[in-house]
Structures are given as C-alpha cells and as structure tokens.
Amino acid sequence: MPKHPALRVGIGAVLWLALSATAQAQSGSAPPASAPAAAAPAGNAKAGQTLMTAGVPPAVAACTSCHGQNAEGAGAFPPLTGSGAAYLRAQLDAFADGSRANPIMAPIAKGLNPQQRADVSAYLASLPSGIARPATPPSGAKPGDAGAWLAQRGRMGDGVPACASCHGPGGEGVGEHFPAIAHLSAAYMQEQVEAWKAGKRGPGPLGLMSGIAKKLSSDDVKAVAAYYASRAK
C-alpha cells in the first residue's frame, strides 16, 4: 500500500495539471464561431452580490433566503463558499440543463441568464469559507479512524485517493474545479454521492468524483463528514 506523502501530492498535482490544461485548451483557443453559447461571460461580482440578496423577482428568490446571509449554508441548504467560480457556474448550468437533477435549484438556475450565473458565481467565489488551509497537512490517521484515514490517505486498494489530494489538506477546496468539502453536512454529502451513483449528477471534470463516489459507502461518507466537522474551523 503506498504510504508516501509525496505520492498524494503527486496525484493531486497531475490531476490539477490535467484540469488546468483542459481549461486552457477551452479558453486559450478562439471559440468557434458556430458555438457562441459555449463562451463563458466574465462574471461581475458586484452585480452578483445584488443578485444574491435580491434574487430576480418574481421568479428567482434571493439566494440568501435558503443558503444564508453569507452563503454559509443552513440546514438542508449547502454552503456555497470555498469553491471556484468555474465550479459554481458549472453547477448552475447543470441544474438548468437537468444534468444535475434537483427540483428546487432547477427553476432557480433556469431563471438566471448566463451573465447572471457568471456574476453570482464570481461573487460567491470571493466570499470567505472559514475553512483554514492547514500549514502542515494533517497526518497520523489511525487505521481505526475511518474518516481521517480516507481524508488523509484514501483507500488505495480500492482505488480511492485521499480526499485531501484533490480537495486540499483541510478540505478547503483547490483552484477553480475542486470544491471545498470540509463544511458540508453528512446528509448533503451523502445525497451527492447517491446522485452520482444514480446518474442524477453529471460526472464533472474528467469523471473524477463520480468514479470515487461509486466506491464510497454511506459509512465512509458519515466518517469523512464527521472527521472534517471535528477539525477546528
């Protein structure tokens, strides 16, 4: 079983490079004239802030009414902080086109035009998540501590890399495509894992997370959520 920390960093770095190369390939070349809809508008965070608290009456309620005043999340409504604008925008697009099935978010996302989705994503990405990036990656997980073990080391025999290798050492999120997970409730995490297993949430970049989700049991998810919740924010 690979135990070397450099390996975990290696996996994260390779994936990150692969993703940024993909992003660059998408943004670096001139968009084909036939596909203007695919070009992502630049987000205006100021306009996004207004949208966040005012919504788009009458069809779209204020995001704060469910996700909290500072998008910190509340009950069944997940926090929206700690993730990159590209990730957030991709989620809004996915709710709108049905590739991420959710009856509450679908009409809200559909009620926003591409510019508004970009604006609100830019604003959300600028908010603090309250999750600290540890100065030294946490280590010392005991095999009996399933949550810490999965988060720090993964389950290599089963092809599950450490959550930390993609989501950051403290689960604080990395770059534009790897969302923060340390502040998610066990129930929300479980719902997402189930959605990937059932094909109700699209595979995401390179299918990285949908592949992992299929190998996570509900005990795994509970343990990881409890591990992050137990860490000082």
Q: How far is the CB of 28 from ligand HEC (least distance, A)?
A: 21
Site track 54-73 with ligand HEC (rule: CB under 6 A), x = hit: -x----xx-x-xxx------
Q: How far is the CB of 77 from ligand HEC (least distance, A)?
A: 5
Query: Does residue 90 belong to the site contacting ligand HEC (CB under 6 A)?
Result: yes
Q: How far is the CB of 32 from ligand HEC (least distance, A)?
A: 24
Neighbouring residues of 111: CB distance < 8 A, sequence distance ≥ 6: 56, 59, 60
Per rule CB under 6 A, count of chain residues that contact ligand HEC: 44
Pick out residues in 166-185 that bind ligand HEC (CB under 6 A): 166-167, 177-179, 181, 184
Interface residue with ligand HEC, options 40, 80, 127, 146 (CB under 6 A): 80
Q: How far is the CB of 65 from ligand HEC (least distance, A)?
A: 5
Measured from the CB atom, the residue of 40 and 63 that comes closer to ligand HEC is 63
Interface residue with ligand HEC, options 88, 122, 146, 182 (CB under 6 A): 88
Q: How far apart are CA 181 and CA 172, in angstroms?
A: 7
Pick out residues in 96-155 that bind ligand HEC (CB under 6 A): 102, 104-105, 108, 120, 150
Could you count the other beta carbons within 10 Å of the beta carbon of residue 73?
18
Neighbouring residues of 144: CB distance < 8 A, sequence distance ≥ 6: none
Query: Does residue 86 belong to the site contacting ligand HEC (CB under 6 A)?
Result: no
User: Cis bond leading into 36, ω under 30°?
Assistant: no
Q: How far is the CB of 1 from ligand HEC (least distance, A)?
A: 16
Q: Which residues bind ligand HEC (CB under 6 A)?
A: 15, 55, 60-61, 63, 65-67, 76-78, 80, 87-88, 90-92, 102, 104-105, 108, 120, 150, 160-161, 163, 165-167, 177-179, 181, 184, 189, 191-192, 204-205, 208-209, 212, 216, 224
